[in-house]
A and B are shown apart, each in its own frame.
Chain A
Amino acid sequence: MKRLMEAGSLLRPISWMPRPLPIRRLFFPNFPRSVKASSKFPGAGYRGPKPKRDWVAEWVSRNDDVVRSLPIYVGGFSLFVVLFNRAASGIAPVADASSSQSRADLLTLGLAVTNVLTGLVWLSIRPKSISLVNPQGVECQKICSDLPDYVVSELLWMWESLSVVTCCRSLVIVYEGSCLLQIGVAAESNGGNTMEVDAPKLIQGLLYQGVVKSGAQSYLANLSLYPGKSELPFLPSNTQAVILQPLGDKGIAIIGGDTIRGFTTADQAWITLIAEKLDATLSRFATNLTVTMQD
């Protein structure tokens, strides 16, 4: 079994990044040591147009609730105004299309009702906001020590992307019988240490077998409902959602999130494709290893 090392002793320490930061701010420079000599003044070379701020979009996204119920108020108010107008002008409130006044009133009523219905539809399709649950455990960053730099950088890039873009808080990668990466929040074992991943036991479990046999991603949107949770003791006990992504037929990536149904379908698609690339990288590393061992 490969010995896991703390990442700090092999590489520069990886700073723990708070999740809600938008990805642009995270990678703000540190200017690169060797800049391509295309321009001495960074930023001055771009000559194209800059996009204008979209005020409407920003205002609507900030006042989401108000905008959703706005058509209802507008429609309701217009209904009252029409009826009041009829009453105040002394015309009998009959709903026939005989006079042009009645026709105009009917059309306005129709528009008011359209607005009310649209408002109700918008209210009904409001996405439910589910609060996140902070995982209970200890932070850890464990990477297998024998990996070449390109594999390590790919693994760390995967962790950075997942932790910043999605609700992922723990990541475990098991490949060819050993745990390559355990990063994020992990369950606490006695004395404040992180619970290690028992890779052989995991591989023999039903969860791993099922996922690798089907070859498809498995999304456990609400982990508390699944009895298979007992096979993942290294994840924090209050992990809300888990994605089990097979890496070819030799490994698995276990991604734990802090919100029920926190991974969207887009996230699932991205994770599938990134895992395929990781599988290709790891299998190339594995074949290189066997080739060098045979020499």
Chain B
Amino acid sequence: MDSLFLNPLIRLSLPPRFRANPVKYSCLYVSFLHPSVFSNNIARRTRRTRRRRNPTISVRLGDTGEPKQQLNLSVLRFTLGIPGFDESYLPRWIGYAFGSLLFLNHFVGSRSYTTAAQFRSEALGVSLAAFSVALPYFGKFLKGATPVDQAALPEGNKQIFIMSESLSDIQKEDLAWATYILLRNTNTMSVLISVGDALCVRGYWGAPEDVSKASELDWFERQIQQIGFSDLRDTLYFPQTSDSAFSEMLPRGTQSLLVQPVLGAPKLGLDDTQEITGGFILLASSMSYAYSDRDRAWIGAISNKFRIMRVNS
């Protein structure tokens, strides 16, 4: 725990994202030009895997009593094998490419006037292209979809770790630990915890250059007063960039924002060393849709830790 104080610059390493083993079937993509061959390939491969024991789907009928058997389609995960290339966005690029080729074909390709049949075909093609472009956006909200692109740290921010002076050691330790755990376990690049009189800011923030180190805390306090975060009662989650009222306070390049109020009375009785406080936790991330339901549940659990603060050390 000492390392939390001695080393304010922590590595913002994101937890490893689980990715299923991709199977290289790049030939599947080329074979669409020959529809008959393609369908045979698909049929052959799926027949083979249905006979093979596939470890990824291991539940058998009768073990847990699941009524419907799930189709074993895991053979169809494919990748082009290029590192850093996200295949889930492939339909979007193909939609753009083929759509533009369709337009090219319409205006440049035909020597005579376009027949009605061609017009119908092209209309269908363009609407399909638009649908393909929209597909990755819908795919993001499906269950089990993980954001594959790692959060990139935007320019223009500097890493800071400041805390109110007038806190006991135990409070400082609690705040340092909470900010550390939030930065480490979620896709967060900046965190601010304000509980009662205590304020702790950690991560990458873009405070203006003319604010001196000593008065950075006051600058944050003023921003908070202006927006009125302390009186919040509901959790606010902005999954995409909002223009806004608080873009001056937030670091540059923030895409999603989560503000979690610290609420409610604890279950235990209080004694003299404890007091009830109000406050909030603010998390900013450089990715959009950065916080899943489970992330938000855990952040709510962390905020409950600050419902009571120990005043005597």
A residues near B (Cβ < 8 Å) are 11-12, 14-15, 22-24, 27-36, 38-39, 42-51, 54, 56-57, 60-61, 64, 67-68, 71, 74-75, 78, 81-82, 85-86, 88-89, 91, 95, 100-101, 103-115, 117-118, 120-128, 130-131, 149-150, 152-153, 156-157, 160-161, 164-165, 264-267, 269-270, 273-274, 276-277, 280
Contact = CB atoms under 8 A, between A and B. Distances in A.
A103 B125 contact: no
Contacts of A101: 115, 117-118, 121
Nearest to B121: A104
Nearest to B141: A60
Given A47-B228, A111-B94, A165 B297 contact: yes
B144 interface: yes
Contacts of B237: 51
Given A34-B276, A115-B131, A265-B15, 4 more contacts: A32-B264, A104-B106, A127-B143, A130-B64
Interface in B32-91: 32-35, 38, 57, 59, 64-66, 70-71, 73-77, 90-91
Contacts of A39: 228, 230-231
B269 A11 contact: yes
B184 interface: yes
A161 B305 CA distance: 9
Contact of A149 (B34, B109, B271): B271
Contacts of A88: 117
A24 to B, nearest CB: 6
9 contacts: A12-B269, A42-B233, A47-B226, A115-B132, A126-B70, A126-B144, A153-B308, A156-B267, A165-B294
A63 to B, nearest CB: 10
Interface in B224-256: 226-239, 242, 244-246
A71 B92 CA distance: 13
Contacts of A274: 181
A34 B275 contact: yes
Contacts of A47: 226-228, 245
Contact of B267 (A15, A31, A61, A150): A15
Interface of B: 1, 15-16, 18, 20, 28, 32-35, 38, 57, 59, 64-66, 70-71, 73-77, 90-91, 94-95, 98, 101-102, 105-106, 109-110, 114-118, 120-122, 124-125, 128-129, 131-132, 135, 137-139, 141-144, 173, 177, 180-181, 184-185, 196, 226-239, 242, 244-246, 263-269, 271, 273-278, 294-295, 297-298, 300-302, 304-305, 307-308, 310
The 6 closest A-B pairs by CB, nearest first: A45-B231, A161-B301, A27-B264, A89-B117, A108-B125, A127-B144
Contact of A122 (B35, B71, B139): B139
A64 B144 CA distance: 11
A51 B242 CA distance: 9
A104 B118 CA distance: 7
B102 A107 contact: yes
Contacts of A71: 131, 135
Contacts of B141: 56-57, 60-61
Contacts of A156: 267-268
A117 B76 contact: yes
B300 A36 contact: no
A122 B109 contact: no
B108 to A, nearest CB: 9
A50 B64 CA distance: 44
Contacts of B263: 27-29
Contacts of B77: 121, 124-125
